[in-house]
Amino acid sequence: MSSILFKVAGDEKRGLGHVIRSLELAREFEDFNVCFCCNDHPMVVKMIEKAGRTPIIIRGKIEQSLLEAIKKNAVKALVIDQPKPDFNPRVIKRAVGKILIVGLDYFRYSHQLDVIINLFNQNLKVVNPQQVVKNYYEGLEYAIIRDEFIEYAKKNKPIKQKVERILIAFGSADPCFHTKEALDLLAKLGKNEDIEIDVVVGPAFGKKTKELEHQHKNINLYSHVQNLGGLIFAADCGFCGAGTTLLEFCALGTPAIIMPQNFREKRFGKIFEERGAAVMLENVLPLQRKLKILHEVISDRGKRRSMSMKQKKLIDGAGKKRIKQIIVKHLEEG
């Protein structure tokens, strides 16, 4: 049985989205021996262990830890899935020789990985990555959606005349604390009184959770969520960043109001905004402009219906199968 090694990293600042999606992608490789190499952070380690896998924890030099794991497990493919590279894959290539190195949402094209699979191109200096990376794949068709969401994605999403429930979900960390800002916007719009508001409190919120505990009675706080798909599907619309949760909103057809956490999320969010699948509240927008955009989504059923239909066309839930096919294809080609 061939071995595949996933290199992931996460923490309060970076969040856990890349760890979550790699764990989901790994489920596609049941015919492989799957290993996980991660940074020494208790949340990341616990998440990998909860998925039934034994993490290889990096406590020294990253390249050395990876090389030891590769040799010990006879790894044939190394999959790197993290926001920014924290080591040079060429060091691994030189030391090991014959190994397939794959990057997911990997924008350091100068590292010359064997295969790169991106949802979009984040490198502003490279207009056409295909000219730099021989085996480059790009598009929303490679979005990884967890199995728990697929059952909801198959259902017909009801778009109500009146918004009755709003979800606020900014991932595991919410470094910019957009959760509080979204609640403040709804309060200024006068919607905290007549709309039920579900708020997902991520495991890396820390002290920020206390600031949310004394909000209006119509606000429901959820921590350690076991059925996020159910919450997203039940919502008439919702707030999220431009990452994994946005993809899940789209797969289920729940109109999304994006509040990007950083420049990368802003660029990714614009793809959905330009295609009419979401609206975006950028930090630079004046308050009245944000309130106007928010009011249009909440009050206009036709707009929400259009967003929902366009969302589901963009994300079909088959991304992880496509990624596996690509990796297996290149492994077989040698």
245-276 pLDDT tens trace: 999 999 999 999 999 999 999 999 999 999 99
Nearest to residue 92, comparing CAs of 108, 110, 115, 69?
A: 69
Residue 61 has pLDDT above 80, yes or no: yes
Q: What is the pLDDT of residue 209?
A: 79
The verdict on 116 and 62 lying in the same domain is yes
More confident residue, 81 or 192: 81
The verdict on 220 and 90 lying in the same domain is no
The verdict on 221 and 157 lying in the same domain is yes
CA–CA distances in Å: residue 317 to residues 122, 151, 172: 22, 10, 21
Q: Which helix (H) or strand (E) holds 245?
A: helix 244-252
The verdict on 180 and 195 lying in the same domain is yes
7-35 pLDDT tens trace: 999 988 888 889 999 999 999 999 999 99
Give dist(CA 53, CA 51) in Å, integer: 6
Q: What is the pLDDT of residue 276?
A: 98
The verdict on 122 and 223 lying in the same domain is no
High-pLDDT (> 90) share of the chain, %: 85
The verdict on 140 and 152 lying in the same domain is no
Cα 35 to its chain centre, rounded Å, is 21
The SS3 of residue 110 is helix
Contact 256, 237 (CB under 8 A): yes
pTM above 0.95, yes or no: no
Q: What is the pLDDT of residue 212?
A: 83
Residue 158 buriedness (CB in 10 A; 0-12 / 13-18 / 19+):
exposed
Q: What is the pLDDT of residue 179?
A: 95
The tokens describing 281, both together, are 């509240």
| Residue corresponding to tokens 């894959």 | 89
**CATH code, domain carrying 328:** 3.40.50.11190
The verdict on 328 and 290 lying in the same domain is no
Residue 128 has pLDDT above 80, yes or no: yes
| The residue type at 77 | A
**Number of domains within the chain:** 2
The verdict on 120 and 241 lying in the same domain is no
- What value does the CA radius of gyration of the chain take, rounded to a whole number of Å? 20
Residue 137 buriedness (CB in 10 A; 0-12 / 13-18 / 19+):
middle
Longest dimension (CA), the chain: 62
CA–CA distances in Å: residue 46 to residues 39, 113, 191, 244: 12, 29, 38, 20
Q: How confident is the model at residue 206 (pLDDT cuts 50, 70, 90)?
A: confident
Could you tell me the residue range of the domain that residue 239 belongs to?
148-314
Q: What is the pLDDT of residue 162?
A: 95
Q: What is the pLDDT of residue 202?
A: 83
Contact 17, 105 (CB under 8 A): no
**CATH code, domain carrying 176:** 3.40.50.2000
Q: What is the pLDDT of residue 213?
A: 72
Over residues 278-288, mean pLDDT: 96
149-193 pLDDT tens trace: 999 999 999 999 999 999 999 988 898 999 999 999 999 998 667
Q: How confident is the model at residue 104 (pLDDT cuts 50, 70, 90)?
A: very high
Q: How confident is the model at residue 118 (pLDDT cuts 50, 70, 90)?
A: very high
The verdict on 129 and 260 lying in the same domain is no
High-pLDDT (> 70) share of the chain, %: 98
Q: Which helix (H) or strand (E) holds 58?
A: strand 55-58
